[in-house]
Amino acid sequence: MTDGDGRLGTQDLHAHTTMSDGDLPLERVVALAVERGVRIGIADHISTRNVERFVATEERVRAYLDALQDAPVFRSGEFCWCDTMWKELPAEVMDRFDYRIGSNHGFHLPDGQMGSPWWRKLPAPWGQRPQELMEIMVANLCDMVRTMPIHIAAHSTLTPPALYALEADVDAWWTDEREDRYVEALADSGVALEISNRYRLPHDRLLRKALQAGVRFSLGSDGHTERQVARLEWAEGTARRVGITDADLFVPERRG
């Protein structure tokens, strides 16, 4: 073994609990992490996009951080690019997270509407202008990593299935030029690129370019269930295939 202390594949920095939309209570996630030999970061949704299930008020964020305080986990949160909470929480609350994750769960369209990376069908007028839509999504991703106070961009290359239904080749949407632009934004901002075990993203070419550009990486299960939490097989295999080592990983520190 030549790649450090074996951190690659043993650090899952993106797991959910019943404090947002996960199936498992914190104690069960902690037990699974121990069983599966993984250090775990809890990153429940901090967002008003689903006030029923997400941590959606400052008061609830404080209670959430209190609940994580004494657990043997990293204390994180997954903030939505398409929400305002990340702009509104006081610095003193934001500073209590060991690290913060940002996600494109919706991207801003020029007409004030939101686009979705999960769209299976493109609403008008985008059915006629799919490349323009992709261009807007990539511009949003670049803005996201440059603007949000985050350490990791989660499942960021998630691309609407409606686009792949038009053209299945990833290169048709993630062109060389768009990849370069996103990699440059990551490198400039210092935000780490998540390799998502759940979504099986990003694709190898983008990862290789990011590695070349000195971007750091983070492996995340994005686990919500017993089966998913602390599982990193695909993410670890992908990281090794493209040449990522321990030295290229984002490593959080427990605060205070």
Binding site for Zn ion (CB under 5 A): 78, 103, 222
CB of 1 to Zn ion, least distance (A): 30
Calculate the alpha carbon distances from 39 to 69, 147, 149, 208, 212 in Å. 16, 28, 23, 25, 27
Q: How far is the CB of 196 from Zn ion (least distance, A)?
A: 9
What is the dihedral sign for C-alpha 232, 98, 47, 123? negative
Cβ of residue 16: shortest distance to Zn ion, in angstroms? 6
Nearest residue to Zn ion, scored by beta-carbon proximity: 103
Of the pair 120, 240, the CB lying nearest Zn ion is at 120
Note whether 184 and 177 are within 8 A (CB): no
In 3D space, the residue among 15, 85, 17 whose CA is nearest the CA of residue 48 turns out to be 85
How far apart are CB 228 and Zn ion at their closest, in Å?
10
Compare residues 103 and 228 and give the one whose CB is closer to Zn ion.
Answer: 103
In angstroms, give the least distance from the CB of 177 to Zn ion. Answer: 26
User: For residue 195, how many other CB atoms are within 10 A of its CB?
Assistant: 25
Query: CB within 8 A of 147, min separation 6: which ones?
Result: none
- Taking the complex as a whole, the smallest distance from the CB of residue 105 to Zn ion amounts, in Å, to 6
The DSSP letter of residue 255 is -
- Which of 78, 248 has the CB closer to Zn ion? 78
> What is the side-by-side strand order in the sheet with 39-46?
11-15, 39-46, 74-80, 101-103, 152-154, 192-196, 217-220
Q: Choose between 75 and 246: whose C-beta lies nearer to Zn ion.
A: 75
The closest alpha carbon to 53, from 96, 23, 26, 14, belongs to: 23
Q: Can you name the residues that pair with 107 across neighbouring β-strands?
A: 115
Phi, psi of 63, rounded to the nearest 5 degrees: -65, -40
Smaller CB separation from Zn ion, 56 or 211: 56
- Would you say 134 or 153 has its CB closer to Zn ion? 153
- In angstroms, give the least distance from the CB of 78 to Zn ion: 5
Query: 78 vs 246, which CB is nearer to Zn ion?
Result: 78
